[in-house]
């Protein structure tokens, strides 16, 4: 309705969050999962053959069963995105906006870079998600609070050295899944997945997600694994509508204590409590409102959510930014839990 914004001024705007039901029904499978490797701030996972790689801080690690994570490469800045080409070359995005492929810095068309995700297509094309034109990846919370929508998606065609922009005006694109005729993109601040074709035309394929989606990866049965790194809740949605309060909070309070999503929580008594009681008789309620959560969603080949893996409010495997399938197991990176988890895909059914 054209008068909707005017009516909302007088009556207020309802704050609604999609329920965790159906394919999103809560469980404790992430907290019950095997810890395949302990790795501080485990972030982006990638595979090559039988090898599993993970980014953490300023380094990329190779992870194998029964051994400590082995450093593959280190950098002067934190690693923010990771992908492996069909020919085995590592593509690595850095907090500084640099892109390194096979150990060499690659020229990019813009100086305003926030590399949040990288993905190679089967034909060797490289897709790049630029989360924001004004903030670095580590400033994602500020981008959300500022209603950022300056993200973009770029593509480097096989055999080319130049990237071209296919989509812009996105609200923090954070995951990429190349398809035969384009790419599926997770748009975090709008809680949805987009399909962008080779001409840059975008359509929404999954909407109203209960959290902020991050990276995507192919599943062994033709479906897709979607990681959701933080939950939505009513208090945060309300704060996002309150311009003056939000601006004052950002100016006067340390970012880790903002009323905003988080990769982990309950680590400090200074953190804000939300929407009611968190504990009863000293027990943290698994259904309580929370700023952090662990959630990996299984999508079928048509990108419909069919099942999910959870670490609830009282769990510790939060901040799930990446999940990949390798050798009949699903590996999940939990930044909030400082771990890479291993799960049987059947447990997500």
Assign 275 a pLDDT band (cuts: 50, 70, 90): very low
Helical H segments across the chain, by residue range:
4-11, 29-32, 140-145, 234-239, 243-252
Give the pLDDT of residue 137: 97
Give the integer Cα–Cα distance in Å for 103 and 84: 12
HSE-CB for 248 with a 13 A CA cutoff: 5
Contact 233, 275 (CB under 8 A): yes
What are the tokens at 56?
């953490």
What residues pair up with 309 in beta bridges, in sequence order? Answer: 296
Give the pLDDT of residue 213: 98
> Whole-number mean pLDDT of the chain?
91
Domain annotation covers residue 49: yes
Kindly give, in sequence order, each residue whose CB lies less than 8 Å from that of residue 3, ignoring residues fewer than 6 positions away. Answer: none
Assign 69 a pLDDT band (cuts: 50, 70, 90): very high
Give the integer Cα–Cα distance in Å for 297 and 214: 11
- Going 199 to 192 to 118 to 218, the CA torsion angle's sign is negative
Give the integer Cα–Cα distance in Å for 107 and 113: 12
Domain annotation covers residue 11: no
Give the pLDDT of residue 274: 47
Does residue 277 have a pLDDT over 70? Answer: no
User: Following DSSP, what letter does each residue of 175-203 receive, concatenated?
Assistant: EEEEETTEEEEEEGGGTEEEEEETT--EE
Give the domain extent around 110. Answer: 20-348
What are the tokens at 163?
């990237």
Domain annotation covers residue 2: no
The CATH number of whichever domain residue 340 belongs to comes to: 2.120.10.30
User: Following DSSP, what letter does each residue of 1-51 receive, concatenated?
Assistant: -TTHHHHHHHH--------S-GGG----HHHHSEEEEE-TT---EEEETTE
Give the integer Cα–Cα distance in Å for 321 and 212: 10
Give the pLDDT of residue 325: 97
Domain annotation covers residue 14: no
pTM score, two decimals? 0.92
Domain annotation covers residue 10: no
Domain annotation covers residue 199: yes
Closest-CA residue to 216 (of 53, 325, 307): 325
92-140 pLDDT tens trace: 999 999 999 999 998 887 767 899 999 999 999 999 999 999 999 999 9
- Going 19 to 21 to 23 to 29, the CA torsion angle's sign is positive
Domain annotation covers residue 13: no
Contact 265, 290 (CB under 8 A): yes
Assign 5 a pLDDT band (cuts: 50, 70, 90): low
> How many independent structural domains does the chain possess?
1
Give the integer Cα–Cα distance in Å for 207 and 228: 13
Does residue 3 have a pLDDT over 90? Answer: no
Give the integer Cα–Cα distance in Å for 92 and 283: 42
Domain annotation covers residue 5: no
Does residue 19 have a pLDDT over 70? Answer: yes
């Amino acid at each position: 309705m054209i008068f909707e914004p005017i009516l909302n001024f007088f009556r207020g705007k309802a704050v609604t969050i999609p329920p965790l039901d159906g394919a999103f029904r809560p469980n404790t499978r992430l907290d019950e999962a095997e810890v395949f490797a302990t790795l501080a701030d485990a972030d982006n996972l990638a595979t090559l053959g039988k090898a599993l790689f993970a980014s953490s801080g300023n380094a990329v690690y190779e992870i194998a069963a029964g051994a400590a994570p082995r450093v593959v490469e280190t950098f002067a800045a934190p690693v923010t995105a990771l992908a492996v080409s069909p020919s085995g070359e590592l593509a690595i995005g850095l907090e500084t906006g640099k892109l390194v492929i096979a150990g060499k810095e690659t020229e990019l068309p813009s100086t305003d870079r926030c590399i949040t995700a990288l993905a190679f297509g089967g034909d060797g094309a490289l897709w790049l998600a630029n989360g924001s034109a004004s903030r670095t990846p580590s400033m994602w919370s500020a981008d959300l609070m500022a209603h950022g929508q300056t993200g973009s998606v770029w593509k480097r065609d096989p055999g080319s050295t130049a990237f071209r922009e296919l989509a812009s005006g996105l609200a923090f694109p954070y995951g990429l899944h190349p398809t035969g005729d384009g790419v599926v993109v997770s748009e975090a601040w709008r809680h949805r997945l987009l399909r962008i074709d080779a001409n840059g035309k975008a359509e929404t394929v999954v909407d109203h997600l209960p959290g902020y989606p991050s990276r995507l990866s192919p599943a062994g049965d033709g479906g897709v694994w979607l990681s959701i790194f933080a939950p939505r809740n009513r208090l945060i949605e309300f704060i996002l509508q309150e311009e003056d309060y939000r601006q004052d909070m950002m100016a006067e309070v340390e970012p880790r204590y903002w009323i905003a999503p988080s990769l982990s929580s309950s680590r400090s008594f200074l953190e804000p409590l939300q929407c009611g009681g968190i504990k009863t008789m000293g027990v943290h309620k698994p259904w309580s409102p929370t700023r952090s959560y662990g959630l990996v969603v299984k999508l079928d080949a048509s990108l419909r959510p069919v099942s999910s893996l959870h670490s609830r409010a009282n769990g510790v495997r939060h901040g799930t930014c990446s999940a990949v399938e390798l050798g009949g197991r699903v590996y999940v990176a939990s930044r909030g839990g400082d771990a890479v988890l291993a799960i049987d895909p059947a447990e997500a059914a």
